[in-house]
Structure 1
Amino acid sequence: MALKSYKPTSPARRGLVLVDRSSLWKGKPVKALTEGKSKTGGRNNKGHVTSRGIGGGHKQKYRIMDFKRRKWDVAATVERIEYDPNRTAFIALIKYDDGEQSYILAPQRLAVGDKVIAGEKTDVKPGNAMLLSQMPVGTICHNIEMKPGKGGQIARSAGTYVQLVGRDRGMVIVRLNSGEQRYIHGTCMGTVGAVSNPDNSNQTLAKAGRNRWAGKRPLTRGVAKNPVDHPHGGGEGRTSGGRHPVTPWGKPTKGARTRKNKQTDRMIIRSRHAKKKR
């Protein structure tokens, strides 16, 4: 997908750069594969804001996605590539030979009419899903499971991918986009190819309203608040917020490492912070 820039016919158009979605399906999604999605405004069942910066936005329908790809050895044809308001990637509607329809994440270079299949071992072709232990070393893949049968959790956002770099005693070694290298069990599923819409990060929205349409409210800087509202707040004149930046709840932020998960530490071979240590 290419980027589309606009002529500055108004202040909102000046500098506007969006992804060209003219080749996507222009109709509605399959009704049987959608369900209602109610907005929370970031509030819990007591009405208290538990997630800041959420509110408003355009009404959305949730597309039911197949992240598991456990319908093995049944070929499917790509019916169309669609826009999904719930994620940055595009999605593909596939129709199995037995007539069942499903939505999957659309990888790059997947076109309408292509055949895709999931199984224990399949051809290394974009859209095909198989066990990680059966993938050749060096394969680019996405929608990676972390637990067998749970469904893909890693590399689902637009343009992301994981590279399989080795095998070791029933496990595979993968390199993530962040630079982290880690073990994943070989019986987990993965889909060949990188996720579609790699230009998503190159968009320029040009006005605050476009973020409001996406349901994002403005966030106030901590240094602009009062001491009662934020650890960075208060002070005479303009202050920097102190030597150690923290969240509103006092946890270190902006680069400070707060990860504490001893159960999965042994799965990480090389940390994503390894370059920064040197």
Structure 2
Amino acid sequence: MPFTLYQPTTPGRRHAGVLQRDITKKEPEKRLVRGAKSSGGRNNMGKITVRHRGGGAKRLLRSVDFKRNKYDIVATVVALEYDPSRTANLALLHYSDGDKRYMVAPEGLKVGEKIMSSQKQIEIKVGNRLPLKFVPPGLQVHDIELSPGQGGVMVRSAGAWAILMSFEGGLARLKLPSGEIRSVAEDCLATIGQVSNVDHINVRLGKAGRRRHLGFKPTVRGKAMNPVDHPHGGGEGHNPIGLKHPKTPWGKPALGVPTRSANKASNRFIISRRPKRT
């Protein structure tokens, strides 16, 4: 898909890069959308629980079928669409029984192709969904279930894929995009291929306004605040944070501190954690 890096005709264009997506339909399917209410990062009591959220362009929420539970019914890809709520494209499917559903579009899927979801052995081709136990090792998969029947929860963002490595004791071993190696039940469903819109990683917003359109508000550095507002605050001029390790505004350790519970039940399925950042 074409990626445009603009000439610096204005300050906002100087660092901007825009991706021209390979979509074939601009308006969403009316039966498959609903209004998305913006919370502004606030909970039901009106308190901000997620900072730096608010504003942004209005958007409609697409109902995406992550379960693909219409088994053994042929579906035809009739359109590839943009979804403002995710980085990947969507594919609109028309099933032979008349039903219409959205799915996360894999890279290389074309309009007019016929795909299928099944709990049995079917053809290995991009867009087909089947249990991991029927997928040959070494193949790229995405939209993977963590437990059978749950629906895809892993590897759904633009350009992502996981590698099926091996099978052992009823479990399939996967290498995830983060580098983590994890086991899931071999009856879990996964879609063949890589997630679409692989050039999304090259997009450069270029100016603050495009970030605001996405619904994000500015983030103030802690060291630019007063000591009463942040542990990093205070000092004359440009000073370091004055601490051995960075902290959150509420004094808890930040950046590189493990947050996963040491006693979480699913820890036994993680063969090796993702590599540490250097």
Q: So what's the TM-score if we normalise by structure 2?
A: 0.94
The aligned counterpart of 1:253 is 254
The aligned counterpart of 1:184 is 184
CA contact (8 A) 1:43 1:51 kept: yes
The aligned counterpart of 2:174 is 174
- Name the aligned partner's letter for residue 272 of structure 2: R
The aligned counterpart of 1:269 is 271
- Name the aligned partner's letter for residue 119 of structure 1: S
The aligned counterpart of 1:55 is 54
Residue 13 of structure 1: CA displacement? 2.0
The aligned counterpart of 1:44 is 43
Q: Pairwise mapping of residues 214-225 of structure 1 onto structure 2 (< 5 A)?
A: 214-225=214-225
1:165 aligns with 2:165: yes
Residue 83 of structure 1: CA displacement? 0.4
The aligned counterpart of 2:152 is 152
CA contact (8 A) 1:78 1:95 kept: yes
Moved >4 Å (runs of 4+)? none
- Could you say what secondary structure the match of 2:174 adopts? strand
Q: 1:271 and 1:221 mapped to 2: Cα distance?
A: 30
Q: 2:166 and 2:220 mapped to 1: Cα distance?
A: 45
Residue 188 of structure 1: CA displacement? 1.1
- Name the aligned partner's letter for residue 107 of structure 1: P
- Could you say what secondary structure the match of 1:211 adopts? helix
Q: 2:137 and 2:25 mapped to 1: Cα distance?
A: 38
- Could you say what secondary structure the match of 1:53 adopts? coil
Residue 70 of structure 1: CA displacement? 1.4
- For each residue in 1:40-85, what CA deviation from the matched residue of structure 2 results, as whole angstroms up to 9, or x when unmatched? 1111122111110101100000000000111110010100100000
- Could you say what secondary structure the match of 1:148 adopts? coil
The aligned counterpart of 2:99 is 100
Q: 2:23 and 2:206 mapped to 1: Cα distance?
A: 23
Structure 1 spans left out of the alignment, 5+ residues: none
The aligned counterpart of 2:82 is 83
- Name the aligned partner's letter for residue 129 of structure 2: A
CA contact (8 A) 1:159 1:196 kept: yes
- For each residue in 1:169-222, what CA deviation from the matched residue of structure 2 results, as whole angstroms up to 9, or x when unmatched? 111000011111011011111100110011111111111000000001011111
Q: 1:145 and 1:186 mapped to 2: Cα distance?
A: 10
Residue 274 of structure 1: CA displacement? 6.5
Q: Percent identity?
A: 45
Residue 275 of structure 1: CA displacement? 8.6
Structure 2 spans left out of the alignment, 5+ residues: none
Q: So what's the TM-score if we normalise by structure 1?
A: 0.94
The aligned counterpart of 1:195 is 195
Q: 1:204 and 1:275 mapped to 2: Cα distance?
A: 23
Query: What is the root-mean-square deviation of aligned Cα atoms in Å?
Result: 1.5
